[in-house]
Amino acid sequence: MIQGKVTGRVWSSKHIETMPGGALLQVTIEGGGTLIAFDPLGCAIGETVLITQGSVAAAFFTKIKAPVDALIIGSIDET
């Protein structure tokens, strides 16, 4: 998994039918780079999150075949 910080949210009104409803968050990855990840947890901007990618991310969706290849699976506890 990779760790990153939520830096924004994007909206996509024009999308393919299988796109799941829910938040698409912009996450800046530790070390550089930006991803757009699906957020099933209700994370806020500034939160540090854990992201899983690829077919492992898509497998989270069991009722639909979602085109999601980046999924927030947890929020990192501040220490």
Q: Which residues bind a copy of itself (CB under 8 A)?
A: 1-3, 10-16, 18-19, 24, 26, 30-38, 40-41, 50, 52-60, 65, 67-71, 73-77, 79
Decide: 21 and 40 in contact? Cβ < 8 Å: no
Residues 6+ positions from 13 with CB-CB distance below 8 Å: none
Pairwise CA distance, residues 20 & 42, whole Å: 15
Which of residues 31 and 46 has its CB atom nearest to a copy of itself in the complex? Answer: 31
* Residue 51 CB, nearest approach to a copy of itself (Å): 9
Which of residues 30 and 45 has its CB atom nearest to a copy of itself in the complex? Answer: 30
Q: Take residue 52 and report the two structure tokens written for it.
A: 């899983």
